Amino acid sequence: GENVEQHPSTLSVQEGDSAVIKCTYSDSASNYFPWYKQELGKGPQLIIDIRSNVGEKKDQRIAVTLNKTAKHFSLHITETQPEDSAVYFCAVYSGGYQKVTFGTGTKLQVIP
């Protein structure tokens, strides 16, 4: 089955700095890579996603990059704000009725 590794598990940054979270996966057939943000007491919320035919996608301060050859993808958050503090999960989907496999999560703390 798919194996997804997410690093780091915790990340502290100063407000205004950038944060980068990386995930690696094992199945070369994987074709959809979403990122979810989970705030305390809430369910995960989709914040950005990318498909395998695209190398990079941006949405305001958030971007995702995908390296299919190396089988890794990263979430980039620029100009971090305290409200970015949350747990971030990457996920990988390999097609058909295969399940979505989630990474183990990164707890991001933005220090004001």
Partner 1 sequence: DSGVTQTPKHLITATGQRVTLRCSPRSGDLSVYWYQQSLDQGLQFLIHYYNGEERAKGNILERFSAQQFPDLHSELNLSSLELGDSALYFCASSGQDIPYGYTFGSGTRLTVV
Pick one of 44, 50, 85, 106: the residue that binds partner 1 (CB under 8 A): 44
27 binds partner 1 (CB under 8 A): no
112 binds partner 1 (CB under 8 A): no
Write the CA distances from 74 to 20, 47, 102, integer angstroms: 7, 13, 14
Pick one of 32, 52, 63, 76: the residue that binds partner 1 (CB under 8 A): 32
Of the candidates 30, 26, 47, 49, the residue with the CA atom closest to the CA atom of residue 38: 47
Smallest separation (angstroms) from partner 1 to the CB of 29:
14
Smallest separation (angstroms) from partner 1 to the CB of 79:
25
Write the CA distances from 2 to 29, 71, 99, 110, integer angstroms: 10, 12, 9, 31
Pick one of 103, 106, 108, 110: the residue that binds partner 1 (CB under 8 A): 103
100 binds partner 1 (CB under 8 A): yes
DSSP state of 14: E
| CB proximity list for 112: less than 8 A, separation 6 or greater | 15, 82
Of the candidates 85, 62, 56, 67, the residue with the CA atom closest to the CA atom of residue 30: 67
Residue count, binding to partner 1 (CB under 8 A): 23
> Rule CB under 8 A: which residues touch partner 1?
32, 34, 36, 41-46, 49, 89, 93, 95-105
